[in-house]
Structure 1
Amino acid sequence: MIRKVSLLAAGAVMGAMSVAGLQYAGTTAVAANSDTYKQLSIFGEVFERVRANYVKPPDEGDLVENAINGMLTSLDPHSSYLNAKDALDMRTQTRGEFGGLGIEVTLDQDSELVKVITPIDDTPAQKAGVLAGDLISEIDGEPVRGLSLSQAVDKMRGAVGTNIKLTILREGADAPIDIDIERDVIKIKAVKFRAEDDIGYIRVISFTEKTYDDLDNAIKELKEQIPEDKLKGYVLDLRLNPGGLLDQAISVSDAFLDRGEIVSTRGRNPEETRRYNSRPGDLTGGKPVVVLVNGGSASASEIVAGALQDHHRATIVGTRSFGKGSVQTIIPLGENGALRLTTALYYTPSGTSIQGSGIEPEIIVEQPLPDDLKGRVRETGESELRGHIEGDNETDEGSGSIAYVPPEAEDDEQLKYALKLIRGEISDPAYPPKSDQAAAVQMDKEEAPATTE
């Protein structure tokens, strides 16, 4: 069976569609009891009454689509119905190029407004000043409340080069903020890199089909730029990374590992458990690695951080990650789109679920906010999403943290700390990680690799 797995934070990417995580698969029918079918007959009767007697002729397609979405969104924030257009847009997004604004969004159940999870790096929304945690109350002067997430996304789509005005409610702001954005083709650069003198800096922005190849190229280029005898290590920056394809998260993790389990996914039935193992060969040659995470690091990026943390291959620096530990299966519905359904949770090599709890760094380094953002940027995480699946390790503390990275490296305290740590200018018991104290990781299991379309 052809399958593709993807893991994104929550909701939708503007210009694409609402997507949390995806895995193409067939379905297994489970019979419902007789009472359920009675309820379905009631639904049919209600539909006919509305269709025949509502004060104005309703759009029957919208009625059915909204009913399906209502059923799915009652399960958790990441399950939903994708119409044919949304399903096509989703496939375009995973290829790493699409049109729109460049923001990851979800529907805030409390306010019924569109909530920004994170702006994608180097996109129109990010350049215009949209921030994680912003609530979009109006689109071109029209209220968002009452719209489904899909409807709001459709309103924000448009031709490249056209303008859109978002009205933002931002915590700490005295009044709504109007932000004008010019729509553009969003070409996600999966990986950015540069030499920081004697250290290779690699930022993974998202996990698209191009990510592993871009990472492989980045490591090769850095090895050419920095002589082997001077290269002290690597900083792997996963901050503000909302996730992406599972097979790419596995490949990126594998790039830094020689052996052992990377991640497992566990569904409703024990036989649905799948384990993904690394292959021999560390692309960095075993050089020290520091991984940066924050509240914008979600899903696939948490898989990478969790794998390297559990195997004591890297030291995690920053603040607690978003905490999305669920997998969504995309079930094609022919010409009618697709069903996106949460079907599994994923677990780190030590058997830990990060659902609702996130990845806790070994070294906590807070990133100060500039004065104009203080009180306006709030912590975001899976645990605060209404209706989220409660995780095995979830506590009152919840998941997530501030999702902010300064545009200038000179203001980036988390990055500066990581560089000093690798250079030995500062010390911490957590660095370098001690392999003899590794977690009880299940090693060398039969590999069950992810396959792609």
Structure 2
Amino acid sequence: MQRPLFSDSAGSGRSSFGRANFGTQKKHRFLYILLICGVMAAGGLGVSLLSAARADKNDSVYQQLGLFGDIFQRVRESYVDEVDDTDLIEAAIKGMLTSLDPHSSYLNADNFNAMKVQTQGRFGGLGIEITMENGMVKVVSPIDDTPAAKAGIQPEDYIIAVDDESIIGMSLSDAVDRLRGKIGSKVTVKVQRAQDEPFDVSLIRDSIKIKSVRYEIFDGIGYVRLTTFSEQTTPGLIDAIDDMFKQQDGNLKGVILDLRNNPGGLLDQAISVSDAFLEKGEIVSTRGRDPEKGNRVYATSGDIARGLPMVVLINSGSASASEIVAGALKDHKRALLLGTRSFGKGSVQSVIPVSNTAAMRLTTARYYTPSGISIQAKGIEPDIEVLMARIETLEGGITREENLKGALDSKEDDEADASDSQPEQKFKQDEIDYQLARALDLIRGVSAFSVLRPNS
């Protein structure tokens, strides 16, 4: 007797149910197979659609390149004057790069060589760092002891004409070419400052020799000014700090690092300057299109300021590398920032050679401070905002008890002795700027509190 596929212990009804369920299972199994095949087909279709989309995109690019070729050929054949092919192609490349952002550009042989010379700390021109904003040439900052600085050019000025010829709408590289010229030659620039009427400034072009580090001691407080970040900056900074310690027999009260109107420069110098004052921690990070390929740079042990109180001066002319240093020292609470908000250039430009003589400067990443804040278009906010101002002594003199006629114990000899006992000041309050004066006061206050601190 053949054994049934399903047992019939509950009668014929139960047996018929078992057969019906078996048929349903076969149906479901068939549907599952169809579903799997459908998924596989959909996957294949997805790949096909993706490939098709890429093909369509490539076709579009080829069409645009074909359009460029057609226009190029039409200009060669029909333009009113004969145009050099190389000039046309170079102009097209410049237009492509400058359309991306104000800092991407094409560097022909002359521009490329000029850039390499500038990073070494010596070049010819007016001594002014500029950028492009809304089709206008904007001053980032003048460089100390250059024609531009001596003529009173200020950060955030706009240069709208050179020798009575408008440069509004001109590319940044072309504007630079107009501003540069033979050493000793005269140039007149028209400046737009805030909402004031435009005015002319005459300058004599000169060979710009950048001394990137200057230093001085004010009442036992070390003051170091960095004018740019060139190959000379970090060695000059270390030498300056060491020399000030020697002059004070190791008894400096603190250090002021002045980054005002410093337009930036070499990234590796910004990192090494930050590292010089930090014992540990992240200095800066860069992130490009692919977030997984970001780069982080960390400090090594050693503080050339020996842990002394620090104040960093910044303003709207502090850009790029200056903002990296200011952001790192602020985030690690190594220094207090005093002044006004910085420029806000937080993008990374890579110089990519495209031939033996030319290169392109391409924005490839953004800078982030150790706390993860982007510098781009935001800048670095100071801990203490102090606007630039001028210190003036109010008229009227000073009256004290000893100045009153017939005052007790008031003698001319005593007054003379009291005057002689005052410590000699190496500077006059009205001969330094207001922001620096406030920074000096801040470090004096910290130094005074450290003396008053009770022994534990």
Short-chain TM bin: 0.7 to 0.9
Measured against aligned partners, the alpha-carbon deviations of 1:58-111 in whole angstroms (never above 9, x if no partner) come to 2333322222122112211111111111011101100010011101112332xx
Percentage of pairs with the same residue = 56
Question: Is residue 418 of structure 1 aligned with residue 436 of structure 2?
Answer: no
Q: Which has the higher helix share?
A: 2
Question: Is residue 162 of structure 1 aligned with residue 181 of structure 2?
Answer: no
Q: 190, 201, 220: which is aligned to 2:223?
A: 201
Note if contact 1:420-1:426 (Cα within 8 Å) is conserved in structure 2.
no
Number of residue pairs the alignment of both structures matches: 359
Q: 1:290 to 1:94 in 2, by over 3 A?
A: same
Long gaps (5+) in structure 1 = 1-29, 372-407, 429-453
Deviation, structure 1 residue 258: 0.9
Q: 167, 188, 211: which is aligned to 1:144?
A: 167
Long gaps (5+) in structure 2 = 1-53, 393-428, 450-456
Question: Is residue 272 of structure 1 aligned with residue 274 of structure 2?
Answer: no
How many angstroms apart in 2 are the aligned matches of 1:41 and 1:409?
Answer: 67
Partner of 1:364: 385
Question: Is residue 132 of structure 1 aligned with residue 155 of structure 2?
Answer: yes
Note if contact 2:112-2:357 (Cα within 8 Å) is conserved in structure 1.
no
How many angstroms apart in 2 are the aligned matches of 1:208 and 1:284?
Answer: 21
Partner of 1:210: 232
Measured against aligned partners, the alpha-carbon deviations of 1:134-189 in whole angstroms (never above 9, x if no partner) come to 32232223332453222222222222222212222333433x32222111110111
How many angstroms apart in 1 are the aligned matches of 2:203 and 2:309?
Answer: 41
Q: 262, 269, 291: which is aligned to 2:283?
A: 262
Note if contact 1:421-1:427 (Cα within 8 Å) is conserved in structure 2.
no
Partner of 1:251: 272
How many angstroms apart in 2 are the aligned matches of 1:329 and 1:42?
Answer: 29
Residue 106 of structure 2 aligns to which amino acid in structure 1?
Y
Greater Cα offset, 113-122 or 356-365:
113-122
Q: 1:146 to 1:423 in 2, by over 3 A?
A: closer
Q: 16, 19, 44: which is aligned to 2:69?
A: 44
Measured against aligned partners, the alpha-carbon deviations of 1:227-253 in whole angstroms (never above 9, x if no partner) come to 324x11000111111111111111111
How many angstroms apart in 1 are the aligned matches of 2:326 and 2:159?
Answer: 31
How many angstroms apart in 1 are the aligned matches of 2:145 and 2:391?
Answer: 19
Partner of 1:291: 312
Deviation, structure 1 residue 417: 0.9
Residue 134 of structure 1 aligns to which amino acid in structure 2?
D
Residue 157 of structure 1 aligns to which amino acid in structure 2?
R
Partner of 2:35: none
Partner of 2:376: 355
Partner of 1:313: 334
SS in 2 for 1:359: coil
How many angstroms apart in 1 are the aligned matches of 2:264 and 2:319?
Answer: 6
Residue 314 of structure 2 aligns to which amino acid in structure 1?
V
Looking at CA atoms only, which structure, 1 or 2, has the larger radius of gyration?
A: 2
SS in 1 for 2:440: helix
SS in 2 for 1:208: coil
Pairwise CA RMSD? 2.3
Partner of 1:187: 209
Deviation, structure 1 residue 364: 1.2
How many angstroms apart in 2 are the aligned matches of 1:285 and 1:195?
Answer: 17
TM-score of the two chains, using structure 1 as the length reference: 0.75
How many angstroms apart in 2 are the aligned matches of 1:72 and 1:369?
Answer: 43
How many angstroms apart in 2 are the aligned matches of 1:409 and 1:74?
Answer: 47
Partner of 1:53: 78
Q: 89, 98, 102: which is aligned to 1:73?
A: 98
SS in 2 for 1:241: coil
Deviation, structure 1 residue 48: 0.6
Note if contact 1:409-1:415 (Cα within 8 Å) is conserved in structure 2.
no
How many angstroms apart in 2 are the aligned matches of 1:292 and 1:135?
Answer: 24
Q: 159, 176, 180: which is aligned to 1:153?
A: 176
Note if contact 1:243-1:299 (Cα within 8 Å) is conserved in structure 2.
yes
How many angstroms apart in 1 are the aligned matches of 2:98 and 2:430?
Answer: 40
Residue 233 of structure 2 aligns to which amino acid in structure 1?
T
How many angstroms apart in 2 are the aligned matches of 1:355 and 1:90?
Answer: 23
How many angstroms apart in 1 are the aligned matches of 2:384 and 2:66?
Answer: 56
Partner of 1:235: 256
SS in 1 for 2:249: coil
**Structure with more relative contact order (C-alpha pairs < 8 Å, separation 6 or more):** 1
Note if contact 2:391-2:430 (Cα within 8 Å) is conserved in structure 1.
no
How many angstroms apart in 1 are the aligned matches of 2:444 and 2:169?
Answer: 53
Q: 1:127 to 1:37 in 2, by over 3 A?
A: same
Measured against aligned partners, the alpha-carbon deviations of 1:237-280 in whole angstroms (never above 9, x if no partner) come to 11111111111111111111111111111111134211111111
Measured against aligned partners, the alpha-carbon deviations of 1:10-53 in whole angstroms (never above 9, x if no partner) come to xxxxxxxxxxxxxxxxxxxx997221121111111111111111
Partner of 1:446: none
Q: Which runs of 4+ in 1 moved over 6 A?
A: 425-428
Residue 141 of structure 1 aligns to which amino acid in structure 2?
D
